[in-house]
A and B are shown apart, each in its own frame.
Chain A
Amino acid sequence: GEDVEQSLFLSVREGDSSVINCTYTDSSSTYLYWYKQEPGAGPQLLTYIFSNMDMKQDQRLTVLLNKKDKHLSLRIADTQTGDSAIYFCAELQGGGADGLTFGKGTHLIIQP
């Protein structure tokens, strides 16, 4: 599969909003995902968005999708220390025939 790109690190202050960005490559991707991975654990599905949507909100999480630019973002409102983790963007390429393609992950660091 083609590359999904993310920044490696993001540092925010506790209580601020975190915005994690991702660019993907397959314009035929039907679903785009955000996963959270904590040390010693598997990737945890946070949220996903269908490709015909522009925005999805789920409590403190807001996902924005710009299909024209193939850009996906995850906003975490009121960031807490428990949000410290690696966040992966993923796309379902090839109509699912190629499985999920993940970015390298963004390490979210929370400053007190």
Chain B
Amino acid sequence: DSGVTQTPKHLITATGQRVTLRCSPRSGDLSVYWYQQSLDQGLQFLIQYYNGEERAKGNILERFSAQQFPDLHSELNLSSLELGDSALYFCASSSGTSGNTIYFGEGSWLTVV
């Protein structure tokens, strides 16, 4: 158990819909990262937040957005969903901004039909 909690574990939704994925970082960690894992693209970095502020941006689509709340939990919002958005979405956390130990949650499996 990494200490990073993600919900929901699985969800199925239709194209055009919007979903929210939730992440609670490890106790004491200030940084939260979001990653997408698909068969063809592998693990892709989406975005990082540190103590409520956006810190780094990767290959995140404009239809996707994230935020980190004062209690440090984070949400990833995916809108106008397309079939190609079906993937595993992972949250990870670390204590610092360029942390040496980055721990991943178990992921949220999104299927768009």
Contact = CB atoms under 8 A, between A and B. Distances in A.
Interface string B46-66: 001000000110100000000
Interface of B: 2, 4, 33, 35, 42-43, 45, 48, 55-56, 58, 90, 92, 97-107
Interface string A3-18: 0000000000000000
25 contacts: A30-B98, A31-B100, A42-B2, A42-B90, A42-B105, A42-B106, A42-B107, A43-B43, A43-B90, A43-B104, A45-B104, A48-B100, A88-B43, A95-B98, A96-B56, A96-B98, A98-B45, A98-B58, A99-B48, A99-B58, A100-B45, A100-B92, A100-B102, A102-B42, A105-B42
Interface of A: 1, 30-31, 33, 35, 41-45, 48, 50, 88, 90, 92, 94-105
A56 B56 CA distance: 29
B51 to A, nearest CB: 14
B45 A99 contact: yes
A71 B76 CA distance: 34
Contacts of A100: 33, 35, 43, 45, 92, 102
